[in-house]
């Protein structure tokens, strides 16, 4: 029998009028031994040098943006953007930003795009945050890792098939490990207050938010957006397997009621498993593309817990 938490019961009661009440899907996270194995997989080798360098620096009226390159897992080069307020006094709270499948670090610079990335980023900068976004394996400036073929998980019948030089699992878990290397670099920057680090991820980035939060104690608050569901019980990137690592840290999920990539019953099941007393589930009347109104709500969530 599925046992529901009081917050989930209240959520279901309040949602009945909106005609989207669902019974949470019963999910089966791995036990403690399985979780510890997953954490070992996500460990990074501290002996690999970061070799960071700033390859570009741009300023506008309010911010400074640096393009950074550092060595991630297996020594691969990881391009990133590090942006922070120009005329304010740091150190600043930081938000790490994880893009979605087929996106890139630039996805967080474009306003009103598929995941309103620029709206989120600019909202954070206006609140006095620094932000850090990097390219996942095979994405963005790392397209050479996929033989210069763009990633396309859902090609049309006439489209050229994906090269598949990396599996989805390798890309997701590789991103999580590269993010930890990125935080190692950021810990050397005087502009960053490492005691106030948050995380936001969209789609694939929302997926990665669960294992990254579990593996990385430096992350103090998370906003996971339209996290896709994995329906097979033993998939190493199933979000439910990492929930025990969240602990009591604030954790929010922003989801779409009509999102076929994460049915509402699965979202409710994930939410019910989150152990933190400071958790939030916001369901929008949308599909995988959330309305732009989610951006200020996500910014507010991160601001509330980091400032």
Beta-sheet pairing, 192-202 with 251-256: unpaired
Q: Is residue 102 part of a domain?
A: yes
Structural domain range at position 58: 6-306
The tokens of 236 are what? 């190493």
Q: Is residue 105 part of a domain?
A: yes
CA distance readout (Å), 226 to 74, 156, 290? 29, 23, 8
Q: CA quadruple 202, 247, 124, 141: dihedral positive or negative?
A: negative
Q: CA quadruple 61, 56, 113, 260: dihedral positive or negative?
A: negative
Q: How many domains does the chain have?
A: 1
pLDDT at 158: 62
pLDDT at 17: 33
Q: Is residue 69 part of a domain?
A: yes
Q: Is residue 175 part of a domain?
A: yes
Report CA dihedral (42, 252, 102, 114) to the nearest 10 degrees.
-170
* Per-10-residue mean pLDDT, the chain, length 307: 45 38 88 97 93 98 98 94 95 98 94 93 98 96 85 59 74 97 98 99 97 98 94 85 98 96 94 98 96 98 97
Q: Is residue 136 part of a domain?
A: yes
Dist. CA 267–CA 238, nearest whole Å: 12
Q: Is residue 127 part of a domain?
A: yes
Dist. CA 188–CA 98, nearest whole Å: 21
CATH of the domain at 128: 3.40.50.1820
Q: Is residue 74 part of a domain?
A: yes
Q: Is residue 1 part of a domain?
A: no
């Amino acid at each position: 029998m599925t046992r529901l938490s009081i917050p989930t019961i209240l959520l279901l009661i309040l949602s009945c009028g909106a005609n989207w009440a669902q019974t949470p899907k019963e999910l089966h996270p791995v036990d403690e031994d399985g979780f510890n194995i997953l954490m070992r997989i996500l460990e990074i080798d501290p002996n690999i040098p970061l070799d960071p360098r700033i390859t570009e620096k741009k300023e506008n009226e309010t911010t400074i943006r640096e393009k950074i390159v550092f060595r991630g897992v297996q020594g691969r080069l990881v391009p990133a953007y590090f942006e922070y307020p120009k005329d304010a006094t740091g150190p600043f709270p930081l938000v790490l930003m994880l893009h979605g499948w087929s996106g890139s670090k630039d996805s967080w610079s474009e306003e009103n795009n598929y995941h309103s990335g620029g709206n989120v980023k600019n909202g954070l900068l206006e609140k006095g945050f620094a932000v850090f976004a990097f390219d996942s394996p095979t994405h963005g400036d790392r397209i050479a890792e996929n033989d210069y073929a763009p990633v396309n998980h859902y090609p049309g019948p006439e489209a050229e098939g994906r090269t598949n030089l990396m599996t989805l699992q390798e890309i997701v878990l590789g991103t999580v490990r590269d993010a930890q290397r990125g935080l190692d670099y950021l810990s050397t920057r005087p502009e960053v207050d490492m005691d106030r680090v948050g995380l936001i991820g969209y789609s694939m980035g929302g997926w990665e938010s669960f294992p990254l939060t579990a593996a990385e104690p430096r992350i103090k608050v998370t906003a996971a957006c339209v996290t896709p569901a994995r329906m097979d019980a033993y998939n190493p990137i199933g979000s439910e397997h990492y929930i025990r690592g969240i602990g009591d840290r604030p954790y929010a999920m922003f989801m779409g009621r009509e999102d076929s990539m994460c049915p509402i019953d699965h979202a409710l099941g994930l939410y019910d498993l989150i152990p933190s007393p400071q958790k939030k589930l916001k369901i929008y009347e949308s599909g995988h593309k959330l309305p732009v109104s989610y951006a200020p709500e996500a910014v507010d969530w991160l601001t509330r817990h980091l400032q």
